[in-house]
């Protein structure tokens, strides 16, 4: 009796799985700690209570990154992005409840939220990229992308807990697209375009240390009292006054998946704003331990080879016992 290709592959898979299970059982994976914040990390602070939904940041980002219009209406008369994508790195969304009469209120209120790359301290996209097309700057912490070495596997798209990296599907030479915190502008001494054009200071740029200090200052504000808020860059001196809001104690991005360099302050619960509820531990801290266990001492290749050998021998044995007439 001949063994067909299907039976052979099933045998190889079964043998490989059995050996892999034994290998992992004898060499358990060891999770590592979350990676630390880079020494000269920079980031963005987005304050939902200051956002007026003007979308100047969306337009500024498009201009700075030479992005085309994102048409989502039949007429295609103007740029109408509904989410981040290959043509839109930054978008403003709206939360509304009931009558939506009151800004920054959960019941019968509304609030804005900004969606963009979070620039994770321990990013999944960097961890899974097999060719290091996704990188994290060891000094600034900016998560960048190199299209020249990308092989188009799209592991980064699948791995990101925030759904940020986006793949092109309308070109024969597709690339991954995402916010890179305008690193090309920073190299020229400028700041990210979204922060530069924001009229209210809802998005401000600065070193993470300055962002942490500003978060602490705003947490200490007395709701209703007049307070000052900086525009564009922390420490710029370009300030305006506004009544202090009642902030949530939770600042999104301080701890999520090991921390991010894009922080959010709000008066409305983040899950209502569409931000996913995530654990404090980064995903690479677990997944890299499993990968290192499987590939330590070439375990994974050996498992595959052993599975194939086992299946081949089994096929040969069956052939000897039941020769074709």
What are the pLDDT digits (tens) for 196-209?
A: 999 999 999 999 99
Closest CA to 112 of 100, 123, 121: 100
Q: Token match 């989502």: residue?
A: 72
The pair of three-digit structure tokens given for residue 215, joined into one six-digit string: 């978060």
For residues 120 and 314, give the distance between their C-alpha atoms in angstroms, rounded to a whole number: 48
Residue 130 has pLDDT above 90, yes or no: yes
Any domain includes 92: yes
Q: Are residues 198 and 314 in the same domain?
A: no
Q: Which of 183-187, 204-208, 307-311 has the lowest mean pLDDT?
A: 307-311
pLDDT band with cut points at 50, 70 and 90 for residue 238? very high
* Total Cβ atoms within 10 A of residue 44: 27
Q: Which domain holds residue 54?
A: 42-269
On whether both 77 and 209 belong to a single domain, the answer is yes
Question: What mean pLDDT is reported for the chain?
Answer: 88
Do 14 and 86 lie in one domain? The reply is: no
Residues 303-315, mean pLDDT to the nearest whole number: 63
Q: Which is higher by pLDDT, 14 or 186?
A: 186
DSSP letters for 305-317: HHHHHHHHHHHHH
Please give the C-alpha separations between residue 77 and each of 67, 69, 70, in angstroms, as whole numbers.
16, 10, 10
Sequence-distant (≥ 6) Cβ neighbours of residue 3 within 8 angstroms: 315, 318, 319
Q: What is the mean pLDDT of residues 230-252?
A: 96
CB proximity list for 245: less than 8 A, separation 6 or greater: 49, 104, 221, 223, 267
- Residue 9 is predicted with a pLDDT of 47
CA distance 155 to 133: 11
pLDDT per position as a tens digit, 262-290: 999 999 999 999 999 999 999 999 988 66
CATH number where 137 lies = 3.30.70.20
Residue 49's nearest CA partner among 224, 193, 184, 172 is 224
In a domain, residue 256? The reply is: yes
Q: Is residue 232 part of a domain?
A: yes
Task: Dump the DSSP string for 5-72.
Answer: HHHHHHHHHHHHHHHHHHHHHHS-----PPPPPPTT-EEEEEETTT-----HHHHHHHHHTTPPP---
- 304 and 169 within one domain: no
Does one domain contain both 117 and 209?
yes
Q: Is the pLDDT of residue 126 over 80?
A: yes
Alpha-carbon Rg for the chain, nearest whole angstrom, is: 25
Please give the Cα distance from 90 to 276 (Å, whole number): 17
Boundary residue ending a domain (269, 293, 309): 269
Please write the tens of the pLDDT for every residue from 31-88.
899 999 999 999 999 999 999 999 999 999 999 999 999 999 999 999 999 999 999 9
Q: Are residues 317 and 170 in the same domain?
A: no
pLDDT at 228: 97
The neighbour count for residue 221, using CB atoms within 10 Å, is 17
CA atoms within 13 A on the CB side of 307: 22
Q: What is the pLDDT of residue 8?
A: 46
pLDDT given for residue 31 in this prediction: 85
Query: Is the pLDDT at 139 greater than 80, yes or no?
Result: yes
Measuring CA to CA, which residue among 209, 210, 227 is closest to residue 218? Answer: 227
Fill in the DSSP letter of residue 291.
H
pLDDT of amino acid 152: 94
280 within domain boundaries: no
More confident residue, 93 or 305: 93
**Domain-embedded: residue 277:** no
Residues 153 and 24 in one domain: no
Q: CA angle at residue 231 from 178 to 85, to 5 degrees?
A: 15
Residue 247's pLDDT band, with cuts at 50, 70 and 90, is: very high
Looking at the structure, tell me whether residues 115 and 235 fall in a common domain: yes
Predicted TM-score (pTM) of this structure:
0.82
- Strands 109-115 and 42-47 come out as unpaired
37 found inside a domain: no
Same domain? For 246 and 208 the reply is: yes
Number of domains in the chain: 2
pLDDT per residue as tens digits for the range 64-79:
999 999 999 999 999 9
Q: Are residues 179 and 125 in the same domain?
A: yes
Provide CB contacts within 8 A for 242, sequence distance 6+: 50, 226, 227, 229
What pLDDT does residue 99 have? 97
Q: Give domain status of residue 274, yes or no.
A: no
Judge whether 225 lies within some domain. yes
Are both 304 and 197 inside the same structural domain? no
Q: Token pair 């990188």 is at which residue?
A: 135
Does residue 95 share a domain with residue 25? no
Portion of the chain with pLDDT greater than 90, in percent: 76
């Amino acid at each position: 009796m001949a063994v067909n290709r299907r039976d052979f592959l099933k045998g190889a898979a079964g043998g490989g799985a059995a050996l892999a299970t034994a290998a992992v059982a004898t060499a358990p994976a060891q999770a590592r700690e979350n990676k630390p914040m880079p020494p000269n990390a920079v980031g963005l602070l987005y304050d939902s209570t200051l956002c007026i939904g003007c979308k100047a940041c969306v337009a500024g980002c498009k201009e700075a990154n030479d992005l085309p219009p994102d048409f989502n209406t039949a007429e295609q008369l103007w740029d109408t992005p509904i989410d981040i994508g290959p043509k839109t790195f930054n978008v403003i969304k709206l939360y509304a409840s009931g009558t939506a009469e009151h800004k920054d209120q959960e019941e019968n209120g509304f609030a804005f939220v900004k969606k963009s790359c979070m620039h994770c301290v321990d990013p999944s996209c960097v961890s899974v990229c097999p060719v290091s097309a996704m990188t994290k700057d060891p000094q600034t912490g900016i998560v960048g992308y190199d299209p020249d070495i990308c092989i188009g596997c799209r592991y980064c798209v699948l791995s990101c807990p925030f759904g940020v990296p986006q793949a092109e599907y309308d070109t024969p030479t597709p690339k991954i697209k995402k916010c890179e915190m305008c690193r090309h502008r920073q190299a020229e001494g400028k700041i990210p375009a979204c922060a530069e054009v924001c009229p209210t200071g809802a998005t401000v740029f600065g070193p993470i240390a300055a962002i942490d200090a500003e978060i602490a200052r705003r947490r200490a504000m007395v709701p209703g009292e007049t307070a000052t808020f900086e525009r564009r860059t922390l420490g710029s001196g370009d300030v305006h006054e506004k009544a202090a809001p009642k902030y949530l104690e939770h600042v999104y991005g301080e701890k999520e998946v090991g921390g991010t360099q894009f922080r959010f302050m709000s008066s409305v619960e983040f899950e209502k704003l569409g931000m996913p509820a995530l654990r404090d531990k980064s995903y690479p801290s677990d997944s890299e331990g499993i990968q290192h266990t499987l590939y330590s001492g070439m375990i994974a290749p050996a498992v595959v080879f052993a599975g194939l050998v086992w299946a081949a021998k089994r096929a040969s044995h069956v052939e000897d016992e039941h020769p074709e007439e």
